[in-house]
Chain A
């Protein structure tokens, strides 16, 4: 079945450093790749997304890259701040179904 692998499961960085989270997906029909941030006690919140016809997208300190051939996509957060600390989920979507990765717990140390 469809699967999304996400690494690392935990990431600790110093404030101001960059953080990178990597995902791979198995379903070659996936054509939309959202990223969600989940804070304690809340539902996941969409932070950025990328479609299969685009290789890279940036929004302020956040960027995503997609390599469709390799079925890899990544989230890059630059100049991390303590408020970036949360669990981040990648996801791969086709049609009516979105499959989530297992999540990365990001700690940003002040």
Chain B
């Protein structure tokens, strides 16, 4: 039972390159989330998916796209990476029950854009 698995763990890109961050969960949760965390800062919500087939913007969606491939998988794509996107990216899952939407996080992907 792995919980929330993110791949890759580390990545270095050049400005303008594209890449997709993968997230998979085996918790049978409906909702999934992508956050970024810059050094010394709290987490900021990029996109979320309340359920399979739906996605919505969070606090900082510009420069990113997402795909909820199925209930298990939620990917984050950077089409043209910029140095400002250097950050640690966390995927999380949560149940859909309003009052108890407790989130479970992956270990993170550390991305550097040169």
Mutual binders A and B: no
- Interface residues of chain B, those whose CB is within 8 Å of chain A, are none
